A = this chain, B = another copy of it.
Amino acid sequence: MEIFDFFVQNREMIYFIILAVFVGIEVIGGVPTVLHTPLMSGANAIHGVVIVGAIIVMLDTEPDNIFGLALGFLAVILGTLNVVGGFVVTDRMLEMFKKK
């Protein structure tokens, strides 16, 4: 059966996904309500890792494909915004929460 073949071939990936989902769920369990906003913001910064994909696009694009390079350039800017903005805003929020 095809589904079995798919399963056998992608076994490592499937276990990886399952374990990562468990880690994600467990890591959040029991977080106090006041930390929800900074946590959301911190998670937001982390998915900025998509910038790695944008860099790969840039590296992969043929040097004479101006349109492709332009898209990649834009993607890297957007990804950086996500990463840098995300981490900085989270840091500022968390600064507010710290006990003096």
Interface set of A (CB-CB < 8 Å, partner B): 12, 15-16, 19-20, 22-23, 26-27, 29-30
- Top 8 nearest A-B pairs by Cβ distance? A26-B26, A19-B19, A12-B12, A22-B23, A19-B23, A23-B23, A19-B20, A15-B16
Describe A's contact surface by its main secondary structure.
helix
Instruction: Say yes or no: A30-B30 contact (C-beta < 8 A), given A16-B12, A20-B19.
Output: yes
**Number of copies of this kind of chain in the complex:** 2
- Cα of A49 to Cα of B12 in the assembled complex, Å: 20
* Residues in B neighbouring A20, C-beta threshold 8 A: 19
A sample of 17 inter-chain contacts (CB < 8 A) reads: A12-B12, A12-B16, A15-B16, A16-B16, A16-B19, A19-B19, A19-B20, A19-B22, A19-B23, A22-B23, A22-B26, A23-B23, A23-B26, A26-B26, A26-B27, A26-B29, A30-B30
